[in-house]
Structure 1
Amino acid sequence: MIENAGYFLKIHPPQKEFLVHLNLHESKMCIFFLVLAFIGSTQAATDYSGHQVLRVTPRTEEHQQWLRDMEITMVNEIDFWSDVKNIPGSTVDVMIPGRHLATFLDIFNNKNIPVSIMIDDVGLLINEQERNRKKRSATNHDLGSFDYTVYHTYEEIQQWILDIAAAYPTIATSFVLPKRSYEGRTISGIKIRGTGGSAGIRKGVYFEAGIHAREWISPATLIYITKTLLEDYMTGESMAVRLVDTFDWYIVPSLNPDGYVHTWTKERMWRKTRSNNAENAFSGCTGTDANRNWPYEWGGKGTSSHPCSNLYQGKGPLSEMEVEAVVEFLRDKKDKGQDFVWFIDWHSYAQYIITPWSYSTDAPDPPNLQNMLEAGQVMADAIASYKSNTFYEVGTTAELLYEFSGASIDWSYAPYNKYDRTAGGLDVPYSYVVELRDINKYGFILPEDQIEDSGKESVLGVYAMGTYIIDVLSAEGKL
């Protein structure tokens, strides 16, 4: 045990106990940590009662680095809901168990870091939303009873994919990615191809959601976008017709099914995949951050080699079957002559529209960065035009937010390498992460009464960005 004066936190992972020493020396604090080889999941659902989400405002670069170190070293005890951004004065949301609140508030006070309460009791909010869900009957009997204003289980989403494809047989088909999830679940999607466009190979669009399991609003919003695109096309809405007749659309609403199921049954705040890290010394820790596992610039900044971390990069690029399945699927399309021009990975929360690069602020700007940013702003303006007046910020990931490697949008944007799937990307000129609602109140526990508004404003954003992309590519002679 470290003997220096300071704070001790008693940590209680399942079946084990250890101490984390937080050592204060004048104005500087160093974090020392011990992590046991066994930190496993429990059989019972995690109880978040008394957990608070604190909104922390680092004042200096030292504060920012200290928080980044804490995010890595405190692993399973505190949960960073948002990342430590590069922008001075940007807030960081951190969920802390009730038993540690007094200690952490004292630490933040000693570091002169302002703190406010974002969510007073995470468990209370989760339980209230769960009670509301249990009051309604299952909605997956058929497409006519499917409710687009509520969250759905993995099984309901899979059935919806089959039902929506069957309802629009002339323009929609279901597909399955070439690999199942780690726990053996099918990862399904929908292909949309208009009847009025070119009969040959068209440019491709790929949208995915749910790569981070707890971000429930992302699958719900992408489902809403998909059904609206289909409905509008069939009724002759001009923008939908242009988008669907120009591109082949590939849409995967739930990319991380194991993690998503786990959030419904065991841990609502689970983020990662559910792969087993048994080959590592930290054998009890499960899962990888699938958005740190893409092959382009894998293993660099903003990731962790610690398998207990929420930022764990995996044992190697494409170690996660879910990520490998997407790469294999899209590379196969590319090898057969289909170029992809538009990629969106839907996330929550923060209300950002962000572009490459993610892996480094020192990387040269993408050649068409200005066009990507303009398209992003067009989307943001369209979203803001909706009645809710929801405002999104637009910028590159590394400069607007923070640096992290192995990101989906870096891989999708990077030049294509036909011979080595770990050496390049997909060469998609318009690649984005869209961080959905909200920014001030609920975070990952967004109430169901916001799903419809999120869907409607996102449809406006997709239509506007898609129109911009078509116009630019047409003017450049690339369509």
Structure 2
Amino acid sequence: MCEVNPHWANMVDYGLVTPNLGWKSYYVRPSDQMQLRSLTSMVQKYGLDFISKASVGRNAVVLVKPEHNDQFLRELADQNIAYTVHVNDVKAQLDIDDALLEARKNSLEGEVSIFDRYLELEEIDAYLADVANKYPDLVTLQNGTTFEGRPIYLMKIAKPSDDDKEKPIIIVDAGIHSREWISPPTALYAISKLVDEAIDKDLIEDLDWVILPMLNPDGYKYSRTTDPLWLKTRSTDNHDNSVECPGADANSNFDFYWNLYGTSSDPCDNNYAGRQPFSEIEVQFGQRNLEQYGYRTILYISLHSYGSQILYSWGHDGTLSQQAFALQTVGVSIANAIHENAQPNYPRYIVGNSALVTGQQTSGSTVDFLHYNGVPLSFNLVLPGVLDNTKGFNPDPKEIEQIAKETWAGIVVAARRARDLFGDWNK
């Protein structure tokens, strides 16, 4: 008889709750820094949930609960912040999205690319295992276990003849926020370019790569089966109310100014930082491996969505690090490379300090944690998403490969710039 993981027992009752019922979503467009600060000050007041990150002069998409809708709109009007309705019934739109994704999946026949649709968790795991089996001399697959007992994988890509422990490392991760479905296939695309095609030989000759394409498997599984807007992990050992409000924001759970800025101590909030730093098993897995390779790491890219932004430290207070010039110039190089390979329907990337660009302070993030611990170039690369004047909450599956392709162009430029600037960083 198959033994049931004890952590799964609590999933059923909570899954019966209908999420997002009565919610609306809006495009909001702050025109200056004052409006941006006013908008972000409403986050805690009204329990706002930004699907896309806000920035000056650009639409963001924000989810609003029914009990706060009227007050929120009144304050937007009082502050003269422009807004329009994105989706009038979030739950109904999510049902439509789900039907469209299922129809897309069923329409694919014969041999299809893994970038033609949003993959199920099991398909992602199978792809990683297949790559590891196909390239045993190039690829090492390390795994841990999530709170609910699922595997969590790290892939190291390094030439077999390389015993050089001083070789610089590039780290790319994705899926730390489970609803950001476009980020895992973008990481998988990077893997495919490095091992299946291996056109850019210098990327393997000069660098080792560590890629974590799915940092939050439990949350991703839940977002695919129950609540597409689920962001957190699925742990139920954080507090007394964990069954009703499970999980924590894994990207607020690292030990750098933990729970001091832009996070919440309320377990039911999306930005709940956890009961303590590294409380989440998935974050512990990331910490162990990131610190294992950290001293050799010259570039770290965390893939998120959506907003077309390239963001860097410090997120907790908006001050600039000693590497601000390198971060800005390399960030602009990434943005330019993406722009040269992008289709015109998505906006150009904004580059800058995360707190200043978005108006939101953050603490406990991977980007700040790794930068503080010696990684000179550390970025949140916030991928493009839903276009203005369109419904839905994820890019059309037909856009997946294009987004991954243009993002890879940016990663390649970043890797080479990092090698040239910091190849001897820790030697």
TM-score w.r.t. length of structure 2: 0.85
The alpha-carbon distance between structure 1 residues 456 and 60, as it changes in their structure 2 partners (threshold 3 A), is closer
Counterpart selection for 1:320 from 277, 280, 285: 280
Shift of 1:164: 1.4
**Residue matched to 1:191:** 156
Q: Which amino acid aligns with 1:81?
A: I
The alpha-carbon distance between structure 1 residues 265 and 246, as it changes in their structure 2 partners (threshold 3 A), is same
**Residue matched to 1:413:** 371
Question: Match of 2:256, SS?
Answer: coil
Counterpart selection for 2:128 from 161, 180, 185: 161
Work out whether 1:96 is the aligned partner of 2:81.
Answer: no
Alignment of 1:349-360 (within 5 A): 349-360=306-317
Shift of 1:267: 0.6
Alignment of 1:71-220 (within 5 A): 71-75=43-47, 79-83=49-53, 87=56, 91-96=59-64, 104-106=72-74, 108-109=76-77, 112-135=80-103, 136=105, 147-177=114-144, 180-195=145-160, 199-220=164-185
Shift of 1:54: 0.5
Question: Match of 1:158, SS?
Answer: helix
Shift of 1:462: 1.0
Shift of 1:51: 4.2
Q: Is the 8 A contact 1:185 1:258 kept in 2?
A: yes
Q: Is the 8 A contact 1:353 1:435 kept in 2?
A: yes
Shift of 1:84: 5.5
**Residue matched to 2:420:** 471
Counterpart selection for 1:384 from 333, 339, 363: 339
Q: Which amino acid aligns with 2:94?
A: I
**Residue matched to 2:353:** 396
**Equivalent-residue separation in structure 1 for 2:37 and 2:333 (angstroms):** 34
**Residue matched to 1:343:** 300
**Residue matched to 2:379:** 432
Q: Which amino acid aligns with 2:333?
A: V
The alpha-carbon distance between structure 1 residues 41 and 370, as it changes in their structure 2 partners (threshold 3 A), is farther
**Residue matched to 1:6:** none
Shift of 1:297: 1.5
Shift of 1:183: 1.3
Q: Which moved more, 1:102-111 or 1:206-215?
A: 102-111
In the alignment of these two chains, the number of paired residues is 409
Q: Which amino acid aligns with 2:51?
A: W
Q: Is the 8 A contact 1:296 1:410 kept in 2?
A: yes
TM-score w.r.t. length of structure 1: 0.77
The alpha-carbon distance between structure 1 residues 340 and 59, as it changes in their structure 2 partners (threshold 3 A), is closer
Q: Which amino acid aligns with 1:410?
A: D
**Equivalent-residue separation in structure 1 for 2:115 and 2:301 (angstroms):** 21
**Equivalent-residue separation in structure 2 for 1:209 and 1:223 (angstroms):** 9
**Equivalent-residue separation in structure 2 for 1:312 and 1:297 (angstroms):** 14
Shift of 1:451: 0.2
**Equivalent-residue separation in structure 2 for 1:287 and 1:408 (angstroms):** 17
Shift of 1:198: 6.3
**Residue matched to 2:247:** 287
Counterpart selection for 2:326 from 356, 371, 374: 371
**Residue matched to 1:253:** 213
**Residue matched to 2:265:** 305
The alpha-carbon distance between structure 1 residues 184 and 283, as it changes in their structure 2 partners (threshold 3 A), is closer
Question: Match of 1:202, SS?
Answer: coil
Q: Is the 8 A contact 1:303 1:312 kept in 2?
A: yes
**Equivalent-residue separation in structure 2 for 1:378 and 1:55 (angstroms):** 29
Larger radius of gyration: 1
Counterpart selection for 2:28 from 56, 73, 79: 56
Shift of 1:278: 5.8
In terms of fraction of residues, the more helix-rich structure is 2
The alpha-carbon distance between structure 1 residues 433 and 183, as it changes in their structure 2 partners (threshold 3 A), is same
**Residue matched to 2:8:** none
Residues 230-254 of structure 1: CA deviation (Å, up to 9, x unaligned): 2231xxx2xx211112122111111
Question: Match of 2:151, SS?
Answer: coil
Higher relative contact order (CA 8 A, sep 6+): 2
Q: Which moved more, 1:349-358 or 1:366-375?
A: 366-375
**Equivalent-residue separation in structure 2 for 1:282 and 1:224 (angstroms):** 35
**Equivalent-residue separation in structure 2 for 1:386 and 1:60 (angstroms):** 30
- In angstroms, what is the RMSD of aligned CA positions? 3.0
The alpha-carbon distance between structure 1 residues 354 and 103, as it changes in their structure 2 partners (threshold 3 A), is closer
The alpha-carbon distance between structure 1 residues 45 and 251, as it changes in their structure 2 partners (threshold 3 A), is farther
**Residue matched to 2:190:** 225
Question: Match of 1:160, SS?
Answer: helix
Q: Which amino acid aligns with 2:184?
A: P
**Equivalent-residue separation in structure 2 for 1:379 and 1:464 (angstroms):** 6
Q: Is the 8 A contact 1:202 1:247 kept in 2?
A: yes
